[in-house]
Amino acid sequence: MAKPVQIEVWNPNGKYRVVSTKPMPGTRWINLLIQQDCRVEICTQNKTILSVEDIIALIGDKCDGVIGQLTEDWGDALFSALSKAGGKAFSNMAVGYNNVDVNAANRYGVAVGNTPGVLTETTAELAATLSVAAARRIVEADAFMRGGLYEGWLPHLFVGNLLKGQTVGVIGAGRIGSAYARMMVEGFKMNLIYYDLYQATRLEKFVTGMYFPFPAYSYGQFLKANGEQPVTWKRASSMDEVLREADVISLHPVLDKTTYHLVNKERLAVMKKEAILVNCSRGPVIDEVALVEHLKANPMFRVGLDVFEDEPYMKPGLADMKNAIVVPHIASASKWTREGMATLAALNVLGKIKGYPIWSNPNSVEAFLDENSPPPAACPSIVNAKAIGKSFTNVLVSTNSLSF
């Protein structure tokens, strides 16, 4: 049996008991729960990843809802414990929910929330940052300087890749993939090739259709009017076409059975010898063992990784690769985004407790994040609404807000 875990309690006499398995950024999410008569208990245990037993101890005998993290294993044991404690709501503080057995939640009638709509730009920014850092060998150069090895300018010292006029490849041109593509096209005047099951019409129009700041021009036309080479776009017929043609490739697919090890030994071999591969999506879309071998054999091939196949661990040899930039899953780690994720997760749980309807568009959540007005009386995003009962599938189309 797990030992009792350390907690911090807010509003101890609140009617509803809501547990957060980790301290989360900001205080707005706490205040929103308190203002709706919730007792908020935050686990402060000095432990990076809580075990199932730890979380069961946190849930206890009475718990109305839990806010959890993507590092936790939310399966039958936890949903059973939450249901027995009277709980009907769980929300990941994440857009992904690969750590959640949604079928188990359905069996126990527990709503599962997530936090889309708030990570797009910040995730795309990190992908762009890794692209530039890899192209210009920033991390290698930084270590060189800190190691006291710099003795003066040399013609061949850390020569990297120029991005302007090169081709950026995007695999998965959804919200994040498209935002990344726009940053690279507009910021570095790169040409675009993308692969997606669905046509990214808005992205295409950005490159060669209507360009919003200058309605008479596309971005490509704007460049041409200023005496520069216009950028182009191409929708590839296959992922391999992107891998063959692009100089920088960023991965933005969902993770499922079809995308596991999407980039493997054979597909790495298709890429250019000096290509750059970036992954801020899900770790298992890359065969990490094959990647390490490819990095060893191709020293000018570079990679920027925010996620890993067996997170938090890296496959043997990856940490030793100078042509690899590795960061600890920080794509969403901007203050505004992380505080927004905490708010959305809290409002998912609160909304189920209060019996609120579901917001009409989980990717349009600005109304929940406006600190100058109360949030709408709604659940921002519930992924299993239909499965847990018709009474919880009403879609909110008005903008009624919580009253305090």
Active site residue 339: no
The Cα–Cα gap between 165 and 147 comes to: 34
The Cα–Cα gap between 345 and 320 comes to: 37
The structure tokens 């935002």 sit at: 179
64-85 core/surface letters (b: 16 or more CB in 10 A; e: else) = bbbbbbbebebeeebbebbbeb
The structure tokens 């021009």 sit at: 217
DSSP output for 7-52 = EEEESTT-SEEEEESS--SSSHHHHHHHTTTEEEEEE--S-SS--H
The Cα–Cα gap between 99 and 168 comes to: 31
Active site residue 282: yes
Our CA dihedral for 314, 318, 323, 325, rounded to 10 degrees, sits at 10
Q: Which pair of structure tokens corresponds to residue 275?
A: 């290509």
Say which of 282, 294, 302, 338 is annotated catalytic.
Answer: 282
The structure tokens 């203002």 sit at: 35
DSSP output for 107-151 = HTT-EEE--TTSSHHHHHHHHHHHHHHHHTTHHHHHHHHHTT---
Q: Which pair of structure tokens corresponds to residue 16?
A: 């509803």
Largest pairwise CA distance in the chain: 71
Taking CA atoms, 249 is separated from 81, 242, 280, in Å, by 43, 8, 11
Active site residue 294: no
- The residues annotated as belonging to the active site are 282, 311, 329
